[in-house]
Structure 1
Amino acid sequence: MTTVLLVRHGLTATTGQLLTGWTPGIGLDERGRAQAKALGERIAPVPLDAIVTSPLDRCRQTVEEIVAARAGRTAPVPDPAVDPMVGECRYGDWTGKPLTELQKDPLWPVVQAHPSAVVFPGAEGESMLDMQHRAVSAIREWNARLGKDATYLVCSHGDVIKAIVADSLGLHLDQCQRIVADPCSLTVIRYTPLRPFLLRLNDTGGTVDDLLPRPATQGEGQEAGGESDAVIGGGAGIDPDTANGAEG
């Protein structure tokens, strides 16, 4: 059995506001680094045979914090491997635009209800089906490379993780928008010869913050599209500064 720890990168200054995609130079903010450090400390007892990361800065910095948290506490792990196959979906002309603007685009409801039919506009746009195929293929390739007894970590992005989870559950990609992957959440899949097993989903540490009523400032990026819409790119999750009603 091969166990994969899927980690979404921590918060950035634009998470849940802009669809950053492959925009370079966007790293974690202080909240994101704190999230990554806390996750690293929480999973430090778990032996890892490899750490794989998306090439984007926000994922690489998340991995840096996770590796630092393991220093001196567990056996050393190999240097993180950068794999573009687990990189963010290529959103083409949508890249860098505010989510509130994108919610008015005619393609938005298609992304919500029928993502398997979506090809993002522009020369660099990728289909969500191609994104899922490359990401799942990467996981399968790493599983084969590391072997059946391996446990390894992959740091990636919200939509990518949701697509991998949908595959592991035998769901059509059109159902992936029912899955949530918050910043710095932990999702764990165990792959066996017959079928994968989803062990954890969107685990952010066992608190109940995500169950509390959200202040008015929370979730603003979704309001224009309706409360049933999934946030493309994954959204910002619960802001730790306002989760308990503190002013942000």
Structure 2
Amino acid sequence: MTTLLLVRHGLTAMTGPVLAGWTPDLHLDERGRGQAGRLAARIAGLPLAAVVSSPLDRCLETAEAIAAGHAEPIEKIETDDRFGEVRYGDWTGRPLKELAEEPLWRVVQAHPSAARFPGEDGESLAEAQFRAVAAVRDWNERIEAEHGKDALYAVCSHGDIIKAIVADALGLHLDQFQRIQADPASLTVIRYTELRPFVVRTNDTGGDVEALVPKRDEDAGGDSDAAVGGGA
């Protein structure tokens, strides 16, 4: 039962008013560094088998805070382009207020599975979801093979990518992914079993994380998959 901790990067100067996308050299601002530090302290005691990150600076800096603040410091951060932000093409770097006037904006909000961003390097949201979910499945297999079936690992990524992964785990059509929220420096937790994924937490920005440590079957009273309706 591999457990995935999805972390959205902390705040940057562009987070919120501008569609940052793959903007280079975009770093955490003072607020974002504080968020990353607090998140790192909160999950420092969790037995992370690995920390994986989008290659973009704002994610790498958040992942570095997590790795450095861990109870057993993690020396290497793995990067995977498939966890990188959606490639927004010509929309990259434009203010959201301006983009909201574009005809495509309504498609992105109401029917995202049909949305493809303009420009040579623009991709569709469906393509972004496909690559991100494929990355999760590959990392689940790798983590389980190297660390056992009860291992936890963290992935630092971006809002739309996290929402797309959660939608897949919930069995939701991509057109529903805008109903999911992933705030800066939030924690989203998914446990993957042979039967189905379990979305344990979404958009968690505070609170105790001790319950995220996997329990052995004898401690938990058996396989949770076996409980009809998830138990009492």
Q: Provide TM-score, normalisation by structure 1.
A: 0.81
Query: Is the CA contact 1:23–1:96 (under 8 Å) kept in the aligned structure 2?
Result: yes
- Give the counterpart of 2:77 among 69, 75, 80: 80
1:59 is matched with which residue?
A: 59
Query: Is the CA contact 1:41–1:69 (under 8 Å) kept in the aligned structure 2?
Result: yes
- Give the counterpart of 2:88 among 71, 87, 91: 91
1:129 is matched with which residue?
A: 126
Q: Secondary structure at the match of 2:103?
A: coil
Query: Is the CA contact 1:24–1:56 (under 8 Å) kept in the aligned structure 2?
Result: yes
Query: Is the CA contact 1:11–1:28 (under 8 Å) kept in the aligned structure 2?
Result: yes
Query: Is the CA contact 2:11–2:32 (under 8 Å) kept in the aligned structure 1?
Result: yes
Alpha-carbon shift at residue 75 of structure 1 (Å): 2.7
Consecutive unaligned residues in structure 1, runs of 5 or more: 207-248
Letter in 2 for 1:103: A
How far apart, CA to CA, are the structure 2 residues paired with 1:86 and 1:142?
Answer: 11
1:25 is matched with which residue?
A: 25
Q: Tell me how large the CA RMSD over aligned residues is.
A: 1.1
Q: How does 1:132-171 map to 2 (within 5 A)?
A: 132-147=129-144, 148-171=149-172
How far apart, CA to CA, are the structure 1 residues paired with 2:37 and 2:126?
Answer: 33
Consecutive unaligned residues in structure 2, runs of 5 or more: 208-232
How far apart, CA to CA, are the structure 1 residues paired with 2:73 and 2:65?
Answer: 14
Letter in 2 for 1:90: R
Alpha-carbon shift at residue 76 of structure 1 (Å): 3.6
Alpha-carbon shift at residue 78 of structure 1 (Å): 4.8
1:114 is matched with which residue?
A: 111
Choose between structure 1 and 2: higher helix proportion.
2
How far apart, CA to CA, are the structure 2 residues paired with 1:26 and 1:162?
Answer: 21
How far apart, CA to CA, are the structure 2 residues paired with 1:75 and 1:156?
Answer: 22
Letter in 1 for 2:100: Q
Aligned residues: 204
How far apart, CA to CA, are the structure 1 residues paired with 2:150 and 2:161?
Answer: 24
Alpha-carbon shift at residue 150 of structure 1 (Å): 1.6
Q: Secondary structure at the match of 2:48?
A: coil
Alpha-carbon shift at residue 160 of structure 1 (Å): 0.1
Letter in 1 for 2:10: G
CA offsets 1:98-121 (integer angstroms, 9 cap, x no match): 000000000001000100001100
